[in-house]
Structure formats: C-alpha cells, structure tokens
C-alpha cells in the first residue's frame, strides 16, 4: 500500500510504536488536525486473524527479537533471553493484556516525600500530581470503557474470582470486585460485550476488550490525518545542527533503509525499545545518545514486583472459564509501612492454559511432584501479584557490547538487581495470597516466581530537574523540545497499578500540550 504522506514532508508528527501510548497518541493528534505517521515494527494482524491458543498466539504477536538479561532477578535465570512479554504488531501490547485498569493513588506520585530516603534507590516525586491527572483518568476510562466508570456495568464474576472474593472477605479484606477492566460487559463503542470465553488475554478476536488496533487506530485513520505504516522497524532518530530532531531512519518490510522527515517525534516503543533507540541515535554531537545529557536514558528500569499464588481445591474450579483477570483485591494497595516495606500491591485473578502453566509454574521443574501439581489443573484457582517496584539507577536497559540485531545494531540488555523492599513485599504477598485461598478451603497453595514482565517502566523518566531524568511532566525531553516520550518509559515511579490506564491518560494530556505548542510555533 502506498504511503498516505510523503517521506519528504517535514510538517508531520512521527510516532514510533502503536500500543497504548503510540496508538492513542496517533488518534488524539489526528483528531486535532495534526497529520501523523505511526511507524510500527510489526505487521498488522487484524482481529479475525488472532489465535485462541496461548502458545500459537505468543508466537504470532510477540516481540521475539534477541535480548539479554543480567542481575539477581529470577527472570535472568529462568528466561535469560526474554526479559519482557511485549507484542510486535500494530496495536502493540494492547493486543495481549488482561484489560486491568486501576488508578494510581495520590501517594504514589509523591513517593520520595512519602517513603523518605531509601538506600539503594533513586526515588523521585513525579513532576505532576494526582489532581492534575484526574481529569485525564476520567477521559481515559471513558475512552476505554472501563467497568464501574461512566455508567459501564461491572463484569460478571467467574469461579476464579468468586473463590478469591470468599477467601479475601474471610481474612478481612473489603475492597474486592470485578473492576476496573477495559472489557465491555455489554456492547459499547461499536464493539460487542464479552462472551466470557476465557480468551480475553491473547489477541482481540471477540473485540470486547479495548485495544488501539480495534479502537484508537481505526478512529484516527477515519480522520484522514493518520497513517500507520506496518513492518517499519525504527533504527535511529536524526537531529539537525540546531539540536532538534528532524527525521527517523527505519528499515521497511524488505529491510531497505528509509528516511521519514518530521516536525516532531514521539517515542512510544516500550520501556526497552524506547531507550534503545535513543542510545543507538548517537553521533558526534550526541555521543551518549539523544536526550541523554543527564545520563538517565535507560536507567531506573522498573517492572513491578510480581509472582503468582495458585490454590488447589478438592472440587473443580475451572479457572480458565471466563475472563483471565476477572477480579482484584485492592486492600494492600495503600501505604502501610508497618508491613515491613513501603509501597503497596494488588492481587488480580489469573488463569493460564495447561501448556503455559507447565512452562511457567516452576521453570525447569521435573518429576512426580511437578506432574502431580499439573494433574490438579481443573481444581486450581490463581491470583497474580503486582506491586510497586523500587527504581534503582543500576537497574537499566543498556546496549550489549557485542551482540547485534538483524540490522547490525546493538541489542538491549536488561539488568535488574532486586531491592530488599521488593523482596519483602513479594514475601508478604505470597503469604497473604495463601491465606486468602486457605480461608476459601484450599488444600494446598503454590508460589511461582516472576514471569517476564508485561509492565515495563521508567527508563526515560519524568523529572522536575533535567539532571534527574529525561523528560518534563508533558513527556517533552529536557534536551530537545520536539522530541517526546509517550509510553511507560516516562514513569517516575512504578506505583502498584497496571500501567496501561495511566499511559493512556498521560498521552491524552500530552496531545493537548503538543497541539498548543505547535500553535505557538514553540516546537
């Protein structure tokens, strides 16, 4: 298909990536009349082509390019070449997510003030606060159809959630529900209601769950102001002699290098690829990469404290029936330092198919005990932990010194050393998760280690002071006025909540700022 816009057009906004950040931003800019090109490294795989099979879907949608890991985190041992589960397709990782949309709490924007000095961390306050973001949370929830907001009803509970709710209430938890989820319980916004088929995580074949592929991108394209170019793998961003970015170099579907000129560039490639592109965009004027005068690009990588608790019961549960994340417990989200750690965490129901369960329950396990656990599959309930991860300067995405990708560029290495606060939180969550299931009648519980992360944040963080981060509270880089960060990379701290809702709220807000600055001829 020929390009809608010329590669020589230097009046365009160029967005790199089409997920929650890039896909939403593309729509928002196009709505405002700003001609925009999204460059997406992966193919466009429409909803009817998605596969209702975990393993096949993983192979169809995942970012499988080579990466390496290091550090003390369990992922480096169990998944050394797969630090994160992200998608490489139009729609990004909104093609494979559970739809879980909790908001940050007020204290999570002020972590440095609330938690105090913490050795081994690089804690900062966000340069914006909850009251500034609340109107955009409202707009994001309305856009995404989040249950329990804007008149959208809650989803129906499944057995997995019912068991979690019974146990939670028996041990004193009160904030237990089937929300907030970006999955339609009833038809809305031209998409159907959920059929509770157990396949609402991988792909969007039913179209009940929000994604940028089925919502934001078609709406943006309908304006005539948005073009999405698939299979365009961005290699680097170029800057002019005045220090502003003016073009993007990418490899097209045939591997041929192309150049798209730009008025401004917004990076939304995820918290691994975004810093990698900046670091690979070095030249004599920017020897350490673009927007990196602070040395903070790639630093402070966060992925959430996680793990899974499975409960085994004496009667069938069939956790795979219904939505994957059918419910949440939010009582542990609040700041309660008496627990022995700062920050909070959430419990969210999770269901894995038997193949994925066998691969991930205890990586590398074998023998009769392991197979006996798998034989209880029909009687299992599951909940996942997502908790606030401490930013650390040494936890970072860097360029590998030796290994190169298919385009001859250094691949990323993701290094994480667990902070004692993370380990204390995980231990507490495992114990509380077991208490929930035991109170509901579980005969045994299983604790699984962290999976490769689906939540990746912080590698180009917002900061009030330029020397402490990469971008300001609008996601505009401190160094280059027409270069923006538009994904989870800009998170100053991780908070406990799943990041997608916050990413969408931030880029709605960012789109207004970009339009205002363009009108003022400031970028």
Tell which residue, 42, 36, 28, has the closest CA to residue 96.
Answer: 42
What is the reported pLDDT for 1? 64
Per-residue tokens: 16: 């790199």
Cα–Cα dist 504/21, whole Å: 6
> To the nearest whole percent, how much of the chain has pLDDT over 90?
86
What is the reported pLDDT for 420? 97
Percentage helix, strand, coil for the chain under 3-state DSSP, each rounded to 5: 30, 20, 50
Cα–Cα dist 141/148, whole Å: 9
Residue 79 CB contacts under 8 Å (≥ 6 apart), including other chains? 69, 363, 451, 452
Cα–Cα dist 466/470, whole Å: 7
Cis link prior to 9 (omega < 30° from 0)? no
DSSP string, 354-374: HHHHHHHSSTT--SHHHHHHH
Q: Phi and psi dihedrals of 226, rounded to 5?
A: -125, 130
Q: Phi and psi dihedrals of 168, rounded to 5?
A: -60, -45
Angstrom distances, CA of residue 384 to CA of 32, 326, 426: 39, 11, 11
Q: What are all long-range contacts of 105-109, with beta carbons under 8 Å and residues at least 24 apart? A: 105/130, 105/333, 105/334, 105/335, 105/344, 105/495, 106/130, 107/335, 108/343, 108/388, 108/493, 108/495, 108/496, 109/133, 109/492, 109/493
What is the reported pLDDT for 341? 97
71-370-347-380 Cα dihedral, nearest 10 degrees: 160
Instruction: Please list the residues that pair with 382 across neighbouring strands.
Output: 310
| Domains along the sequence of the chain with CATH | 13-519 (3.50.50.60)
If one counts every other C-beta atom within 10 angstroms of the C-beta of residue 192, the result is 12
Angstrom distances, CA of residue 214 to CA of 45, 192, 203, 270: 11, 11, 11, 20
Instruction: Please list the residues that pair with 410 across neighbouring strands.
Output: 404
Low pLDDT (below 50) residues in the chain: none
What is the reported pLDDT for 201? 79
If one counts every other C-beta atom within 10 angstroms of the C-beta of residue 193, the result is 15
Per-residue tokens: 379: 């009687």
What is the reported pLDDT for 3? 78
What is the reported pLDDT for 199? 67
Q: Phi and psi dihedrals of 279, rounded to 5?
A: -70, -35
In three-state secondary structure terms, 384 is strand
Q: Where are the beta strands (DSSP E) in 8-130?
A: 13-16, 36-39, 68-70
How many Å is the maximal CA-CA distance in the chain? 70
Instruction: Please list the residues that pair with 249 across neighbouring strands.
Output: 236, 259
Tell which residue, 385, 470, 482, has the closest CA to residue 124.
Answer: 470
């Amino acid at each position: 298909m020929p390009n809608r816009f010329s590669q020589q057009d230097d009046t365009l906004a160029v967005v790199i990536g089409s997920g929650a950040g890039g896909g939403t931003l593309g729509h928002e800019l196009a709505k405002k009349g700003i001609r925009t090109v999204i460059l997406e490294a992966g193919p466009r795989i429409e909803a009817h082509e998605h596969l209702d099979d975990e393993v096949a879907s993983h192979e169809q949608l995942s970012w499988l390019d080579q990466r390496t890991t290091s550090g003390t985190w369990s992922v480096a041992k169990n998944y050394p070449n797969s630090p994160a589960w992200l998608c490489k397709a139009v729609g990004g990782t909104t093609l494979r997510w559970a739809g879980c949309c909790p908001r940050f709490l007020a204290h999570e924007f002020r972590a440095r003030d609330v938690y105090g000095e913490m050795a081994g961390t690089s804690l900062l306050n966000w340069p914006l606060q909850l009251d500034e973001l609340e109107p955009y949370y409202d707009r994001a929830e309305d856009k995404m159809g989040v249950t329990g907001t804007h008149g959208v009803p809650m989803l129906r509970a499944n057995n997995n959630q019912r068991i979690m709710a019974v146990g939670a209430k028996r041990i004193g938890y009160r904030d237990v529900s089937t929300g907030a989820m970006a999955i339609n319980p009833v038809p809305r916004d031209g998409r159907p209601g959920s059929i509770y088929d157990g396949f609402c995580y991988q792909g969007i074949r039913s179209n009940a769950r929000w994604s940028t592929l089925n919502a934001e991108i078609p709406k943006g394209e309908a304006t005539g102001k948005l073009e999405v170019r698939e299979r365009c793998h961005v290699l680097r961003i170029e800057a002019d002699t005045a220090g502003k970015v003016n073009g993007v170099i990418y490899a097209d579907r045939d591997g041929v290098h192309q150049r798209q000129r730009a008025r401004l560039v917004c990076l939304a490639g995820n918290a691994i690829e975004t810093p990698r592109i900046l670091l690979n965009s070095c030249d004599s004027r920017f020897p350490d990469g673009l927007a990196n005068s602070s040395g903070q690009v790639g630093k402070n990588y966060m992925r959430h404290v996680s793990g899974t608790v499975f409960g085994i019961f004496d009667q069938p549960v069939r956790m795979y029936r219904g939505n994957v994340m059918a419910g949440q417990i939010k009582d542990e989200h609040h700041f309660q330092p008496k627990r022995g750690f700062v920050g909070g965490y959430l419990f969210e129901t999770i269901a894995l198919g038997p193949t994925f369960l066998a691969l991930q329950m205890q990586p590398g396990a074998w023998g009769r005990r392991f197979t006996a656990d798998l034989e209880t599959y029909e009687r299992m309930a599951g909940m996942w932990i997502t908790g606030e991860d401490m930013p650390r300067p040494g936890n970072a995405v860097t360029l590998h010194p030796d290994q190169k990708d298919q385009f001859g560029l250094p691949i990323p290495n993701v290094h994480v050393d667990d902070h004692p606060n993370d380990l204390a939180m995980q231990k507490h969550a495992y114990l509380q998760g077991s208490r929930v299931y035991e109170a509901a009648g579980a005969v045994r519980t299983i604790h699984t280690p962290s999976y490769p992360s689906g939540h990746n944040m912080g590698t180009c963080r917002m900061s009030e002071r330029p020397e402490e981060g990469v971008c300001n509270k609008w996601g505009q880089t401190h160094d280059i006025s027409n270069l923006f960060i538009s994904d989870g990379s800009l998170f100053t701290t991780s908070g406990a909540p799943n990041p997608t809702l916050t990413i969408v709220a931030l880029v709605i807000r960012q789109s207004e700022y970009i339009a205002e600055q363009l009108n003022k001829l400031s970028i």
